[in-house]
Amino acid sequence: MTSSLHGAPALVARLGDILLRHQATIRHLQWAMVAIYAALLAVPLLLALPTHTDYLWNNAVRFAQFAFWGVWWPFIILATALIGRFWCGILCPEGALSEFASQHGAGRAIPGWMKWSGWPVVSFVSTTVYGQLTSIYQYPKPAALLLGGSTFAAIVIGARYGKAKRVWCRFLCPVSGVFGTVSKIAPLHFRVAPESWSAGDRQDGRSKAVNCAPLIPIKTMQGAAACHMCGRCSGYRGAIRLCWRNPASDIVHGSGRLATMWETVLIVPVLLGLVPAALHWSDSGLFQMIRLWLVERCLDLHLIWPLSLRLPWWILTDYPLENDVMTSVDAGAFLILLAVSVAAATIMFGIPLAASARILRMKGHFPHHLAQALIPLAAACLFSGLLSLTVSQLRSDGIVIPYSDLFRGGFVLSAAAWSVVLVFRIGTLYDLGLATRISAAIIMAVPITSFSIAWVGAFLS
Domain that holds residue 239: 186-246
Given a cut of 60, is residue 286 above it in pLDDT?
yes
Give the pLDDT of residue 193: 85
224 and 94 part of one domain: no
In a 10 Å sphere around its CB, with 0-12 CB exposed, 13-18 middle and 19+ buried, how is residue 104 labelled? exposed
List of long-range contacts for 214-217, beta carbons under 8 Å, 24+ apart? 214/88, 214/165, 214/166, 214/169, 214/170, 215/162, 215/165, 215/166, 215/167, 215/170
**Weakest mean pLDDT among 205-219, 291-305, 360-374:** 205-219
Taking Cα atoms as reference points, which of 365, 346, 357, 378 lies closest to residue 426?
Answer: 357
What is the rounded distance in angstroms from the CA atom of residue 156 to the CA atom of residue 168?
A: 9
Domain end: 182, 199, 217, which one?
A: 182
Rounded mean pLDDT, 31-40: 97
Mean pLDDT for all residues in the chain = 91
pTM of the model: 0.93
Q: Which secondary-structure segment (H or E) carries 251?
A: helix 249-252
User: Both 309 and 331 in a single domain?
Assistant: yes
Last residue of a domain, one of 218, 246, 274: 246
Whether 3 has a pLDDT exceeding 90, the answer reads no
pLDDT reported for residue 366: 67
Do 80 and 166 belong together in one domain? yes
Q: Indicate the number of domains in the chain.
A: 3
Same domain, 19 and 156: yes
- In terms of domains, do 266 and 143 share one? no
Among the candidates 196, 226, 246, a domain finishes at 246
Residue 449: what residue type? Answer: T
Same domain, 12 and 155: yes
The neighbour count for residue 258, using CB atoms within 10 Å, is: 13
176 and 192 housed in the same domain: no
What is the arithmetic mean of pLDDT over 122-127? 97
Q: Give the DSSP H/E element, type plus range, for residue 263.
A: helix 261-265
Confidence band for 432, pLDDT divided at 50, 70 and 90: confident
Give the per-residue pLDDT at 195.
77
The answer on 368 and 328 residing in a single domain is yes
Whether residues 276 and 345 share a domain: the answer is: yes
**What pLDDT shows up at residue 363?**
75
Q: Identify whether residues 241 and 116 lie together within a single domain.
A: no
Do residue 440 and residue 397 come from a single domain? yes
**Are 122 and 215 members of one domain?**
no
